[in-house]
Amino acid sequence: MSATTTAPKQDGFSIGRLLLEGRAFFALIAIIAVFSFLSPNYFTLSNLLIMSSQVAIYGILSVGMLLVILNGGIDLSVGSILALCGVCAGAMMQGVTLDFAGVILYPPVWAVVVLTVAIGALVGALNGVLVAFFKVPPFVATLGVMYVARGVALLMTNGLTYNNLRGQEALGNTGFNWLGFNRLWGIPISVIVLAVVATLAGLMLSRSAFGRWLYASGGNERAAELSGVPTRRVKITVYTVSGALAAVAGLVLASQLTSAGPTAGTTYELTAIAAVVIGGAALTGGRGGVRGTMLGAFVIGFLSAGLVIIGVSSYWQTVFTGAVIVLAVLMNSIQYGRGGRKT
């Protein structure tokens, strides 16, 4: 008897709980359903793939951002690192003049990719060192690096854009467009890159010792340190990875646009933060996951693309995106507010 009377109550509770915890997932389903209803072109394979390849840029950035946010930090510099790395890649595609040797070096595309990612990682590591060793608050450190990286990108190009990234057959450096345009088994390469990045990050977070260190130091750095977690190393690593992933995103974007400009990726850091937050991560650190962040990135991407398809003004897109972010943060505080109050 008592079991039957309490059963409905528990059901109601768990449905509410399910909706709350899977909110990003249900939001994505709702977005797809609404836009499919409004436009016949929305729910087609080709459109979904095009939208996904756009999401890939934000998605790759937001994986890096997630790691930083799990650590209790924030990385405002990823948009600028993206641009800087794109410009560096563009410059390398134009050929690197070595004055002392009197030659112009045309590195092959794979070398360009490796060097670019290394540059991104280096700038990210700079963030990490500032935060971990010089105790600069993450917000300020990455804000500074954001300006510096953007400035260097502008200086390198004099504010202009590299439009020719195709390379030349004779120089053996063709193939840069592969990242942005080609498909493997019908899937855009950028989406595959995102999938690989997300899978690796997910495995690292859930299965590796480093992942556990990251969650612990984000949840309570003092306790983690006293438990033998190398908290500084964890910090530097997450900012380095975030920088490297910004470089990857920069490469994908430059390849998709077939151009590399110093103003690319402006405000992308904010979109990446939004994706992480919509995905349920706590800005105070220690809570969140790759799955949520991916859903968050797709919610933002599919929402704005859908609004474009049904012909809503881009000004309204901004309003909608903002509303979604505020709603997500509100839900986060409901979810964590309950559990967190207990001491």
Partner 1 sequence: MTRQTQGAPDAREVVLAARNVAKSYGNVHALKGVNFDIHRGQVTTLFGENGAGKSTLMKILSGVIQPTTGQIILDGQPVSFANANEARDRGISIIHQELSLAPNLSVRDNIFMGRELRGPMGVDFAAEERQVRALMEELEEEIDPLTPVEELRLGQQQIVEIARALSVDSRILIMDEPTSALSASEVEVLFKVIRDLTARGVSIVYISHHLEEALTITDHAVVLRDGTMTAYAPRADIDLDWIVRNMVGENYDLGQPPDSDKREVALSIRNLSVPDATGKDLVRGLSLDVRAGEIVCIYGLMGAGRTELLETCAGRLRATGGEIVLEGQEISHLSIAERIARGLALVPEDRQRDGLVQTMSVGQNLSLASIRNFTRGLFTSSRAERKLIDDSIRSVTVKTSGGAAPIGSLSGGNQQKVVIGKMLATRPRVIMLDEPSRGIDIGAKAEVFRLLAEGARQGLAVLYSTSEVSECLSIAHRIIVMHKGRISAEFDSTVSKEKIMAASGESVAA
Minimal distance, residue 297 CB to partner 1, in Å: 23
Contact call for residue 201 and partner 1 (CB under 8 A): no
Contact call for residue 175 and partner 1 (CB under 8 A): no
Minimal distance, residue 284 CB to partner 1, in Å: 9
Contact call for residue 292 and partner 1 (CB under 8 A): no
3-class SS string, 37-77: HHCCCCCCHHHHHHHHHHHHHHHHHHHHHHHHHHCCCCCCC
Contact call for residue 216 and partner 1 (CB under 8 A): yes
Q: Exposure string (b/e) for 22-51, b if CB count within 10 Å is 16 or more?
A: ebbbebbeebbeebeeeeeebeeeebeeeb
Which residues, at least 6 apart from 274, have a Cβ–Cβ distance to it below 8 Å? 296, 300, 321, 324, 325, 328
Q: Kindly report the backbone phi and psi dihedral angles of residue 266, in degrees, each rounded to the nearest multiple of 5, phi listed first.
A: -65, 135
Contact call for residue 135 and partner 1 (CB under 8 A): no
Figure out which of the listed residues 82, 113, 229, 295 binds partner 1, where binding follows CB under 8 A.
Answer: 229
Contact call for residue 246 and partner 1 (CB under 8 A): no
CB closer to partner 1 out of 166 and 338 = 338
Q: Which helix (H) or strand (E) holds 315?
A: helix 314-341
Closest CA to 245 of 69, 123, 146, 133: 123
Figure out which of the listed residues 2, 5, 46, 343 binds partner 1, where binding follows CB under 8 A.
Answer: 343
Closest CA to 190 of 292, 23, 321, 51: 51
Figure out which of the listed residues 102, 228, 311, 337 binds partner 1, where binding follows CB under 8 A.
Answer: 228
CB closer to partner 1 out of 120 and 286 = 286
CB closer to partner 1 out of 212 and 291 = 212
Figure out which of the listed residues 226, 308, 319, 323 binds partner 1, where binding follows CB under 8 A.
Answer: 226
Which residues, at least 6 apart from 173, have a Cβ–Cβ distance to it below 8 Å? 93, 106, 107, 108, 109, 112, 167
CB closer to partner 1 out of 32 and 214 = 214
Figure out which of the listed residues 73, 128, 218, 279 binds partner 1, where binding follows CB under 8 A.
Answer: 218
Figure out which of the listed residues 184, 222, 311, 337 binds partner 1, where binding follows CB under 8 A.
Answer: 222
Minimal distance, residue 198 CB to partner 1, in Å: 17
Contact call for residue 339 and partner 1 (CB under 8 A): yes
Figure out which of the listed residues 35, 42, 213, 298 binds partner 1, where binding follows CB under 8 A.
Answer: 213
Q: Kindly report the backbone phi and psi dihedral angles of residue 96, in degrees, each rounded to the nearest multiple of 5, phi listed first.
A: -100, 120
Figure out which of the listed residues 79, 280, 286, 289 binds partner 1, where binding follows CB under 8 A.
Answer: 286
Taking a C-beta distance cutoff of 8 angstroms, is the pair 176, 166 a contact? Answer: yes
DSSP 132-161: HTS---HHHHHHHHHHHHHHHHHHHHTT--
Footprint on this chain of partner 1 (rule: CB under 8 A):
203, 207-209, 212-213, 215-216, 218-220, 222-230, 282, 285-287, 339-340, 342-343
